[in-house]
C-alpha cells in the first residue's frame, strides 16, 4: 500500500521574472512524497502557473487531498509502463501539472527514491541547454547576455515583446555582433499582434534567428497557419499546445499549422507519457522539438533533464537552465557548466 504526503512550498524569485504576459515574484508549488510499505519515498512536484496553466490552481489542494485517499488503493508498481498507466487512471488530462508531479514521485519511488527518475547514472548525464535572458530594461537584459556569454552558452534565448520593438531590435543586433555562430532563439509568449507580426518577423530575420516561440496568442489557427508558412524565421509552438490532449487533435494541429518546432513542457502538457506522444507525432511529421522546464524547483527540473537525456539523437538545445532563479530552491547536485546541464559528483539533495 502507498501513502501520499502533500507539502506546499513557495519559491521566491531572485528578481521579478517578467514576460509579455506579466511578472512573477514568487510561485507556489506542491511537493508530493509517495512512500511504500518499506519506507522508500519518491518525491515529485506539482508546479502550475496561475493564468498560464490549463488547470485552476485554486482547485489543486482539494484534488491532491482526494488523491492522497485514492493512492492508498494502488498496488505495488514495478515498471515505468505500470506507473504511467496508473497515473493516467488517477489524474484527468485537464490536470497536467498533477499528472507530471505524480509520475515523477512514482518513478522516483520504483527506482529507489534517490532522485533517479529515469537513470541510475546521474553523473553520466550532460544535456546541452540554452541560456535564458529575461525581460527587463535594456541594461538588465544586456547584463544577463554578458553573463550567459561569459558562462560559455552557445545558444541564447531572449524573451521579447514587453519592450519597445526598436529597443529589442537594438539588443538583438548587439548580441548578433558578438558572434556569427551564436544560436539566437526568441520567445514572444504571444505578444505580437496579427496585423504586424509578419513585418516584425521580417525585421528580426536580419539577425539570423534560429526560431521564435509563439509569436501570437494561441487559438488563432488561421493566423498561425499563415505565419508558419510565410515567416522568414522558423516558428516554434509553445502555448499553442496547451490543452490539446487527444491524439487526433494533436495530429490535426500539426498537419494544419505545419510548425517548424515544438517546445515541450512536461508540467504543462501532462507529464512524460503525454510529451512522448508529442515527440512521436512531431517526428512522424518531420518537426523538430526540444524540452523546456516550466520554472519548476530542482525536483521537477531534475526529472525533466533525465527525460531529455533519453533522446541523445536530438541535437537541439533544451531549456533546462532555470534552477538558479530562486533564493530558496531545493539543494541539489545539479550543475550548469559551459552551457550544459549536468551533475556534481556529490549526489546530496536537500530535504523537501
Which of 69, 265, 276, 345 does the annotation list as catalytic? 265
Residue 138: C-alpha distances to residues 2, 19, 145, 147, 288 (Å): 51, 14, 11, 14, 31
Active site annotation includes 345: no
More confident residue, 18 or 4: 4
What the block records as the C-alpha cell of 121 is 547514472
Residue 94: C-alpha distances to residues 98, 120, 284, 323 (Å): 9, 31, 25, 26
d(C-alpha 193, C-alpha 186), whole Å: 16
Q: What is the pLDDT of residue 36?
A: 94
346, 330 Cβ separation under 8 angstroms = no
Q: Would you place residue 19 in the very low, low, confident or very high pLDDT band (cuts 50, 70, 90)?
A: low
Which tens digit of pLDDT belongs to each residue from 306-346?
Answer: 999 999 899 999 999 888 899 999 999 999 999 999 999 88
Q: Would you place residue 291 in the very low, low, confident or very high pLDDT band (cuts 50, 70, 90)?
A: very high
The H or E element that residue 144 is part of is helix 138-150
227, 201 Cβ separation under 8 angstroms = yes
Nearest to 31 by CA among 307, 308, 297, 343: 297
- Region 104-117: what's the mean pLDDT? 95
Q: Strand 41-46 vs strand 22-35: parallel, antiparallel, or unpaired?
A: antiparallel
Which tens digit of pLDDT belongs to each residue from 229-252?
Answer: 999 999 999 999 999 999 999 999
Domain annotation for the chain: domains and CATH numbers: 3-110 (3.30.390.10), 122-343 (3.20.20.120)
Q: What is the 3-state secondary structure (H, E, C) of 41-58?
A: EEEEEECCCCCCCCCCHH
- Region 289-318: what's the mean pLDDT? 95
Beta bridge partners of 183: 155
Beta bridge partners of 26: 12
Nearest to 168 by CA among 184, 182, 180: 184
User: What value does the mean pLDDT of the chain take?
Assistant: 93
Other residues' Cβ atoms within 10 Å of the Cβ of residue 56: 12
> Looking at the predicted structure, is the pLDDT value of residue 20 above 60?
no
DSSP 190: T
pTM of the model: 0.95
Active site annotation includes 159: yes
DSSP, collapsed to helix, strand or coil, labels residue 155 as strand
Which tens digit of pLDDT belongs to each residue from 138-159?
Answer: 888 889 899 999 999 999 999 8
The H or E element that residue 341 is part of is strand 340-343
Rg from Cα positions in the chain: 20
Buried-state track 81-102, b at ≥16 Cβ within 10 A, e below 16: eebbebbbebbebebbbbbbbb
Which of 159, 173, 200, 258 does the annotation list as catalytic? 159
Amino acid at each position: 500500500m502507498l501513502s501520499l504526503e502533500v507539502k506546499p512550498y513557495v519559491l521566491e524569485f531572485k528578481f521579478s521574472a517578467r514576460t509579455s504576459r506579466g511578472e512573477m515574484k514568487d510561485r507556489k508549488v506542491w511537493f508530493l512524497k509517495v512512500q511504500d510499505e518499506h519506507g522508500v519515498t519518491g518525491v515529485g512536484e506539482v508546479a502550475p502557473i496561475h493564468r498560464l496553466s490549463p488547470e485552476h490552481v485554486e482547485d489543486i489542494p482539494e484534488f491532491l487531498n482526494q488523491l492522497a485517499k485514492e493512492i492508498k488503493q494502488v498496488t505495488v508498481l514495478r515498471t515505468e509502463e505500470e506507473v504511467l498507466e496508473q497515473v493516467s487512471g488517477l489524474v484527468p488530462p485537464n490536470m497536467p501539472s498533477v499528472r507530471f508531479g505524480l509520475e515523477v514521485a512514482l518513478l522516483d519511488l520504483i527506482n529507489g527514491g534517490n532522485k533517479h527518475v529515469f537513470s541510475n547514472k546521474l553523473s553520466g548525464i550532460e544535456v546541452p541547454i540554452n541560456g535564458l535572458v529575461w525581460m527587463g530594461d535594456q541594461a538588465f537584459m544586456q547584463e544577463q547576455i554578458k553573463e550567459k556569454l561569459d558562462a560559455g552558452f552557445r545558444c541564447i534565448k531572449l524573451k521579447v515583446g514587453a519592450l519597445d520593438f526598436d529597443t529589442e531590435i537594438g539588443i538583438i543586433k548587439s548580441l548578433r555582433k558578438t558572434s556569427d555562430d551564436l544560436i539566437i532563439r526568441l520567445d514572444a509568449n504571444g505578444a505580437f499582434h496579427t496585423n504586424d507580426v509578419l513585418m516584425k518577423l521580417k525585421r528580426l530575420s536580419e539577425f539570423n534567428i534560429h526560431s521564435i516561440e509563439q509569436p501570437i496568442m494561441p487559438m488563432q489557427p488561421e493566423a498561425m497557419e499563415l505565419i508558419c508558412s510565410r515567416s522568414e524565421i522558423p516558428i516554434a509552438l509553445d502555448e499553442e499546445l496547451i490543452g490539446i490532449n487527444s491524439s487526433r487533435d494533436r495530429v490535426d494541429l500539426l498537419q494544419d499549422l505545419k510548425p517548424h518546432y515544438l517546445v515541450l513542457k512536461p508540467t504543462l502538457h501532462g507529464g512524460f507519457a503525454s510529451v512522448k506522444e508529442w515527440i512521436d507525432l512531431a517526428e512522424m511529421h518531420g518537426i523538430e522539438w526540444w524540452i523546456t522546464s516550466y520554472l519548476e524547483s530542482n525536483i521537477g527540473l531534475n526529472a525533466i533533464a533525465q527525460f531529455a537525456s533519453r533522446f541523445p539523437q536530438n541535437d537541439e538545445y533544451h531549456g533546462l537552465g532555470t534552477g538558479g532563479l530562486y533564493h530558496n530552491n531545493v539543494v541539489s547536485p545539479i550543475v550548469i557548466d559551459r552551457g550544459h546541464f549536468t551533475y556534481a559528483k556529490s549526489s546530496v539533495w536537500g530535504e523537501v
